[in-house]
Amino acid sequence: MKNAMGEWAFFASQTFNGLSVASILALVAVGLAMSFGLQRVINMAHGEWLMLGGYMAYLAYQALPLPLYLLAALPLGFGAGALAVLLLELAVIRHLYGRPLETLLATWGVSLILQQAARNTFGPVGVEVAAPTWLAGAIHLGQVSLPWVRLFVIGLAAAALLGLAAFLRHTTLGLQLRAVSQNREMAASLGIHTRGVDAVAFALGGGLAGLAGAALALIAPVTPTVGQSYIVDAFLVVILGGVGSLGGAALAALLLGLTSATLQGLTSVSLAKVILLFLVVLFLQLRPRGLLPSRTRALEEV
């Protein structure tokens, strides 16, 4: 009986940890879904915005008192990710619209440059950020422990995604973004500045990834290659959720995070990755357009 209770507690803890990782993955994947769904840009440097947000949290942690640094770290992470992706769009991506394979190669090169720049600046070893004292401790439900810091990360991701949904549904700029996603030519003919909308979509996507990096710094070390740990899973989430579907990306991130945590509890990390990939491929054979496919003219022309 005690052994069974211990196994249940371990499974519950793994599931909770998977939910917190899924929350970060959802923020990264939704931003990636925005850039591909709207502009058909395959941005391989998207994971580096997560890395940048993590390092912004580390710099805030070094510069500010412990109870206050988090108030600066989260907006700094969002702002750094948004600014970085805007600079990338102006310098590189703007000249490669309509050529997705070339954007893939170009952004992959930018990704390598940013990783090396982070390695030269912060060193190859991961840096750590201590959570504020008000996030210390955990909720104990029997043998199951739910750390406050992971609950905070889950709540932050939920609030960010709900805020994004409200922005897209209830603001003029959000409606314009949806219009451009549905039919760029018609939106342009109605007077919408489509390139400006593209910049807003990129900034939102990069900002969400930077915010995810700042949140990740609270529960894991930040390394120059941390973005690479998430970018492959983020692409997997975008495909599983339905290319261009923000709701599908959020749902797929939740499913993949929980499934991965469960499999890792039952097997090893490497075997769990293989099984998860097999399950995704099998699902796409049955439903090739993903969980919640987005029906837009832009995607139908791909």
Q: Which residues of 199-220 are buried (b: 16+ CB within 10 A; e: fewer)?
A: bbbbbbbbbbbbbbbbbbbbbb
What's the CA gap between 154 and 42, in Å, rounded? 27
28 touches 210 (CB < 8 A): no
Mean pLDDT along residues 127-144:
86
Return the C-alpha torsion angle 73, 76, 82, 87, nearest 10.
-130
Q: What are phi and psi of 36, to 5 degrees?
A: -80, -40
**pTM of the full predicted structure?**
0.90
Q: What are phi and psi of 131, to 5 degrees?
A: -70, 150
Give the pLDDT band of residue 280 (cuts 50, 70, 90). Answer: confident
Per-residue pLDDT reduced to its tens digit, 102-127: 888 899 999 999 999 999 999 999 99
Q: Is the pLDDT of residue 158 over 90?
A: yes
* Residue 66: per-residue pLDDT: 76
* Residue 6: per-residue pLDDT: 61
Helix, strand, coil abundance in the chain, percent, nearest 5: 75, 5, 20
Instruction: Report residue 253 as tokens.
Output: 């991130």
Per-residue pLDDT reduced to its tens digit, 201-257: 899 999 999 999 999 999 999 999 999 888 888 888 888 888 777 888 888 998 888
* Residue 179: per-residue pLDDT: 87
